[in-house]
Amino acid sequence: MAAGPTQKSVQITNFDASPPVAGSAGNGAPGLIDFLDSFIIPAAADGAGTKYFMLRVKTSVIVKKLIIENEAEGAGKVQAGLYYADDARYLAGGSANAGVVIDVKFFSDDYDLAAAHGPTNITYNGTAPTYNISKRDQPLWQAAGLTSDPGGWFDIVLTVHTTDITTGTGRVHLSVEFIQP
């Protein structure tokens, strides 16, 4: 079997250019990873459409990883989406978008909470979430398809979808790793 052609990543191609093309933190250049986490305890019988506002990040961050961990809920599926912050104090330009959904399955679609799971990367999980591999080096506002940075903050929200929570006694933990350019 013959070896295929040599290929270079975008980062290496940019370094090898003449003159070299500098990357930015999170996009081809080193950057410090920040980490946020929190948890909730769903209520028994939380139905489809119930929202769990989990984490708040600046609109300009570059998300590298979204991790979920949960205790058994008996049943229940959630989507991991992106919303404008639900508190107008964290929005640039006022309250018009407070709590408004940008994409209900931005990161993940139908993650099953029925059984307990250890830390699981759901950054691109399920059926066609928006935040795919081609968007991992973009600021969150750009990855979300907005034409400019609205400033302020976004909320990462778990929304009960398809299957209701049955027991509602276990914790659901969510963490995000990101770079602030």
Q: For residue 138, what is the domain's CATH number?
A: 2.60.120
In a domain, 120, yes or no: yes
Residue type, 1: M
Tokens of residue 37, six digits = 């986490």
17-31, 51-65, 93-107, 151-165: which is most confident = 51-65
Q: How many domains does the chain have?
A: 1
Residue 87 lies in a domain: yes
Structural tokens at position 113: 């909470």
- Measure the CA–CA gap between 39 and 18, rounded to whole angstroms: 48
Please state, for a pLDDT cut of 70, what percent of the chain lies above it. 96
Query: pTM score, two decimals?
Result: 0.88
Contact indicator for 59, 151 with CB cutoff of 8 Å:
yes
More confident residue, 61 or 23: 61
AA identity, residue 178: F
Distance CA 91, CA 127 (A): 30
Mean pLDDT computed over 130-153: 92
The predicted-structure confidence for 19-43, as pLDDT tens digits, reads as follows 888 777 777 777 899 999 999 999 8
| 150: pLDDT strictly greater than 80 | yes
Measured between alpha carbons, how far is residue 38 from residues 52, 93, 170 in Å?
Answer: 11, 27, 14
Query: Given a cut of 90, is residue 154 above it in pLDDT?
Result: yes
Examine residue 20 and state whether it is found in any structural domain, yes or no.
Answer: no
- Tell me: pLDDT of 129 over 90: no
What pLDDT band is residue 1 in, cutting at 50, 70 and 90? low
Asked if residues 82 and 63 have their Cβ atoms less than 8 Å apart, the reply is no
Task: Report the C-alpha gap between 27 and 30 in whole angstroms.
Answer: 8
Mean pLDDT score of the chain: 88
* CA–CA distance, 104 with 34 (Å, rounded to integer): 24
pLDDT of residue 144: 95
Domain extent, residue 138, equals 33-179
How far apart CA 33 and CA 84 sit, in angstroms, is: 23
How much is the pLDDT for 119?
Answer: 97
Give me the amino acid identity at 9.
Answer: S
Whether residue 90 lies inside any domain: the answer is: yes
Distance CA 179, CA 101 (A): 23
pLDDT band at 4, cuts 50/70/90?
low
Domain assignment present for 72:
yes
**Could you tell me if residue 5 is inside a domain?**
no
19 assigned to some structural domain? no
Per the domain annotation, does 9 fall within a domain? no
What is the model's pLDDT at position 39?
A: 96
Share of the chain above pLDDT 90, in %: 54
